[in-house]
Amino acid sequence: MENVSKKEQSTLFKNGLITPKTAPYFFILPALLLFLAFTVYPIIASFLLSFQTRTGGVYTFSGLDNYIRLFSDPIFYKALGNTFILLIIQVPIMLFLALLLAVFLNSKLLNIRGFYRVSYFTPAVTSLVAASIIFILLLNSDYGLVNYILSSIGIEKINWLTNGFWAKVSLIIVTTWRWTGYNMVILLAGLQNIPNDLYEAASMDGASPIRQFFHITIPQLKPVLLFCFVLSTIGTFQLFDEPYNLTNGGPNNATLTITYYLYNQGFNFFDFGYASAIAYVIVVFIAILSWLQFKVVKDD
């Protein structure tokens, strides 16, 4: 480049080096370089690590040992089971609530949407450390506010955080509290993209609002809903902050998620080989599930 004259250089940029054919590579280059250095390299390194075990401070190649160990590890299955329960129960509840709020917020009857949007979005941007302390206190079985209110309407006290079943319920509540607004915002954007004349035509034909919702809103929103589903699937498999701060994965591993288990193996027990193996099993699960979700939507 140094011996190219200025004039030549400018034509080079205009017509030579950066042509409509080469331009995309130019545009993609910075992202690609950063991606290779800070994402691909760590991924390959940790992938290689998943075939190694550490003994006495030295990593040695051990083939598929970590993966084989994984499939006979009862705690891994428990964590996987918990993750699937969350996926099957929490994600639909959250997306349903998010959709409901989005439809309400999209209503023409409203004139102060901004206030609501900010309120609902706020939990998603808060660090969970302090919020979880509040939830732990609210849900305490003996003197928490929630049981206090329940007992005043005659419902027996619930061991929110110390019973395996209710601890899962608590985790679902907190996760839903945190992420509903986030999904609502995305769905709201999708709603605003639906052409108004579709509704007007339906109204003229005398379709009720509920009928309109199922026959116009849902089909039109399908790609956005799919998008939210895929994001939430990824989010559920990577769920860590919430159980870490709320229940520490307990009681008796009832709220141990798969990524939490990965974290424990790596950062508490220093077995980064095993932790990496878990990570790649997670990736396979997410990939399969995302693919399935796409397929279901396409076939429909």
Partner 1 sequence: MKKILERLLVAFILLVLLVACGVNSSSEQDIEELTIPENPEDINGDITVWAWALEANYLEKDVLPAFKKIYPNIDVTVEHIGVDQVYQKVSAGLSSGGSGLPDVVQVENNRIQSFTTEFPDAFTNLSAIGYDKHEDKFAKAKIEGLKDKNGNVIAAPRDLGPVGVIYRVDIFEEAGVDPSKIETWDDYIEAGKKVVAHTGNYFLGTDGDGLLRIMMQQQGSYYFDNEGKLDITSEEGENAARILQEMKDNNLITFTNNWDGQVAAMKNGEVATNPGAVWWSGTMLEQMPELSGKWDMFMLPAFEKGSTRASNDGGSALAIPSESDNKVAAYVFTEFATTDIDSQIKALTNRGLFPALTAAYEEPIFSENQEYFNNEPFFQKFADTVENIPAVNHDGAELEVRSVMGSEIEAFLLEDKKAMDMLQDGEEQAIQQTGKETTE
Partner 2 sequence: MKNFYIKKSLLHFVLIIGVIVSLGPFYWMIVGATNPSGDVLSFPPKIIPGNYFMENLTNLSESIPIMKALINSAIIAIVFVLASLLVCSMAGYAFAKFKFKGSNLIFSSFLLAMMIPYQATIIPLFQIFGALEWLNTYHAVILPQICYPFAIFLIRQNMKGIPDSMIEAARIDGAGEISIFFKLALPTMKPALAAVGIFLFTHQWNNFMWPLIIMTSSDMYTLPVALSTLAGLNSVDYGQLMLGTAISVLPIMIVFLILQKHFISGILGGSVKE
Smaller CB distance to partner 2: residue 43 or 202? 43
Of partner 2, partner 1, none, which one sits near residue 198, judging by CB under 5 to 8 A according to partner kind?
A: none
Of partner 2, partner 1, none, which one sits near residue 163, judging by CB under 5 to 8 A according to partner kind?
A: partner 1
148 Cβ contact partners less than 8 Å away, ≥ 6 residues apart: none
Residues making up the chain, counted from first to last: 300
Of partner 1, partner 2, none, which one sits near residue 255, judging by CB under 5 to 8 A according to partner kind?
A: none
Smaller CB distance to partner 1: residue 40 or 149? 40
- Which range touches partner 1 (CB under 8 A), out of 72-80, 119-127, 150-158, 279-287? 72-80
Does 161 interact with partner 1 (rule: CB under 8 A)? yes
Within 10 angstroms of residue 79's Cβ, the number of other Cβ atoms is 24
Of partner 1, partner 2, none, which one sits near residue 164, judging by CB under 5 to 8 A according to partner kind?
A: partner 1
Smaller CB distance to partner 1: residue 229 or 261? 261
Please identify which residue in 4, 13, 155, 200 interacts with partner 2, judged by CB under 8 A: 13
- Which range touches partner 1 (CB under 8 A), out of 117-125, 159-167, 178-186, 191-199? 159-167
Smaller CB distance to partner 2: residue 67 or 227? 227
Site track 77-116 with partner 1 (rule: CB under 8 A), x = hit: ----------------------------------------
In the block, tokens 């209110």 appear at: 149
Residue 251: asked if its preceding bond is cis (omega within 30°), the reply is: yes
Of partner 1, partner 2, none, which one sits near residue 275, judging by CB under 5 to 8 A according to partner kind?
A: partner 2
